[in-house]
Structure 1
Amino acid sequence: MNFMRTVKGSMLDGFYPAGWNMDKIDSCCSNSPESIDERQPFWNEKFVPFSCSDVGELDVKMGHEIAVQIRKSKDQGRKIAFILPVGPMGMYKWAVYFLKEWQVDCKHVYGFNMDEWSDEEGRTLPSDNRGSFQYAMEQAFYGPLGEYTVPEDQRHFATADMLPTYAERIAALKAEGAELVTVFGIGRMMHIAFWEPHFGGEFSNDADWSQATHRIAAQLHPLTIEQNAITSFKSRTTLVPCRANTIGPGLFLQSDYIIGGCDGALGRGMQWQGLSLWTTLRHGPDRWLPSTFMPTLPGKLFFLNELAGPLEADVN
């Protein structure tokens, strides 16, 4: 007895995206934990997953990787563009630490926040609202960098006015020799940024889907709302907006390098991200599962070892 055998006629019948093959997703999650880093045919030859024993290790390694990319581009005398998330967040304090220790400033860095909560018109929270992603970035990264920080006019946030200009701005930077680095987490619904899986139904093929650069006032899946209620709003679903402005695959698939992090463990053996991690690493690219495209790009994906499972019943 399982989900696939009992879903028909239930309240979850039709709840998940139409393009999801639950049997295939389940198969992705049925491997032994020790095999999670076995290379797959669809992975980029320079894509590498890294297991971390705890959140502290993951935060340090992600932060170090961000700082290394900033220092390397500085040493090479070129600009660098980052697509940045709010979640995970723990790596930013370590990126700040390393950059300050190395005395590397960020005058050559251009930051593009990947998403922001919005209403149905794409209006976003004020920048001083504690729930806004701009506020989070200023507090976690730009502010603590102090004299080494990214210039204010090189920080971009996903407002209704600014987000549509990302593609042109990033293209101009790349034309000048800048590399694009996407830092990301993987959503419960396998989204990247807030590019949700159900958007896949609006496109006839993956090629068309991959050209979409952004969306204003994107409708979020209910499980995305619940994920954020748990991870960012202390369980209080009523505080979570139901829409967001977000980048799309037309931007994150342009990445020259990626730095990913999966830290979705809750304690006492509970977690929410193991299925998302395994599906990302095993399924193969599919527009109904946006995160499955990330292993096709060069870079690193850091994950908590406990997310590898085994993903089996464990009544808690």
Structure 2
Amino acid sequence: MNFALTVKGSMLEGFYPAGWNMEKIDRCCANSPESIRERQPFWNKQFQPIPCEEVAEFDVKMGHEISWQIRKSKEEGRKVAFIFPAGPMGMYKWAVYFLKEWGVDCKHVYGFNMDEWSDGEGWTLPSDNPGSFQYAMEHAFYGPLGEYSVPVEQRHFATARTLPAYSEKIAALKAEGAELITVFGIGRMMHIAFWEPHFGGEYASDEEWSKETHRIGAQLHPLTIEQNAITSFKSRTPLVSCRANTIGPGLFLQSDYIIGGCDGALGRGMQWQGLSLWTTLRHGPDRWLPSTFMPTMPGKLFFLKELAGPLGAELN
């Protein structure tokens, strides 16, 4: 029996996004772990999924990729714009390490945080609040870089005032020859930043959807809230906002290069990101599953090898 069919008529009907084909998503997850890197017709020729044995390897490789792209743009004498996430986070200490070891400063780097917790009007936490993404970035990346850091005026955070200006600022940088690099994790709901899958129902086509650059006070899916309760707030759901300011596909689909990460293993054989990884790599582009567009762009997606599965029932 395929239990994916039992969503209809259950309490979960209307909970999952209307555009999700649960049977197709399940088929994506039914492949053998060894086949996860098999190239798909919709992948960009320069897109690579890269397995990592453990979190330590994952952090080093992602940090190296970020710092290498910063170094490369420096050596080529051009500016570079980064869309940065506040998760995964372990990569930043290694990016700092490599940049300092190489003696490469970030005066040519322009950072745009992809999202931030907010209320319905887009008001965000104070920058000195440990729960804010700005606080996380300042303490994990910008601050530790010291004299090598991104100039303060080139650091942008997703406030209601600043986020709407991202598109114009990034366009101006690209006009000067800068590349746009998006660093990201994949959400449980296959979101990129906090651009949620249920937003797909507001648009008549993928093309219309793909033009949206941002959203203020975006309404988050319950599973996104629970994902963050588990990964960032030690299960304390009341600390997690139900809304956020976020970039949209009109920005992340402009990327010249992407650096993605999936490290959602919880230990003792438990994980939350295997379905998200497989769906991203196998489903094909669909606005109801934002992460499925990422393999269409050049870049790398680092993932913990155990996320490839096999996915299914297991005694713990």
Look up the match of 1:204: 204
Count residues with an aligned counterpart. Answer: 316
Equivalent position amino acid for 1:233 in 2: F
Distance 1:126 1:3 in 2: 45
Query: How far did residue 65 of structure 1 move?
Result: 0.3
Alignment map for 1:123-138 (pairs within 5 Å):
123-138=123-138
Amino acid at match of 1:146: G
Q: In structure 2, the residue corresponding to 1:143 is in which secondary structure?
A: helix
* Structure 2 equivalent of residue 257 of structure 1: 257
Verify: 1:110 aligned to 2:110, yes or no: yes
Distance 1:299 1:91 in 2: 16
Partner of 1:64: 64
In structure 1, the partner of 2:315 is 315
Aligned residue for 2:155?
155
Residue in structure 2 matched with residue 184 of structure 1 by the alignment: 184
1:235 aligns with 2:258: no
1:295 aligns with 2:295: yes
Alignment-derived partner of residue 40 in structure 1: 40
Q: Deviation at 1:206?
A: 0.3
| SS of residue matched to 2:266 | strand
Shift in Å at residue 10 of structure 1? 1.8
Q: How much does 1:2 deviate?
A: 4.7
User: Residue type matched to 1:81 in 2?
Assistant: A
Which letter does structure 1 place at the counterpart of 2:191?
Answer: H
Is 2:81–2:111's contact at 8 Å kept on the other side of the alignment? yes
Ranges in structure 1 where 5+ consecutive residues have no aligned partner: none
Q: What stretches of structure 2 of length at least 5 have no aligned partner?
A: none
- The runs of at least 4 aligned residues of structure 1 exceeding 3 Å deviation read none
In the alignment, what sits opposite 1:218?
Answer: 218
Q: Hey, what does 1:142 align to over in structure 2?
A: 142
Query: TM-score if structure 2 supplies the norm length?
Result: 0.99
Paired residue type of 1:90: G
In 2: Cα distance, 1:232 partner to 1:188 partner: 14
Deviation by residue 1:25-73 (Cα, 9 ceiling, x = unmatched): 0000000000000000000000000000000000000000000000000
* Corresponding letter in the other structure for 1:239: L
SS of residue paired to 1:314:
coil
| SS class of match (1:144) | helix
Q: Map of 1:60-99 to 2, 5 A cutoff? A: 60-99=60-99
Question: Contact 2:4 / 2:26 at 8 angstroms: preserved in 1?
Answer: no
Which amino acid in 2 is paired with 1:49? P
Between the aligned partners of 1:6 and 1:239, the Cα distance in structure 2 is: 33
Letter in 2 for 1:188: R
Instruction: State TM-score, norm by structure 1.
Output: 0.99
In the TM superposition, what is the alpha-carbon distance from 1:148 to its structure 2 partner?
0.1
Partner of 1:171: 171
Rounded to whole Å, the distance in 1 between the matches of 2:177 and 2:5 is 53
Deviations 1:150-183 (A, max 9, x none): 0000000000000000000000000000000000
The share of aligned pairs that are identical, in percent, is 84
Distance 1:224 1:3 in 2: 23
Quote how far apart the aligned CAs of 1:8 are: 2.8
Contact kept in structure 1, 2:5 and 2:22, CA below 8 Å: no
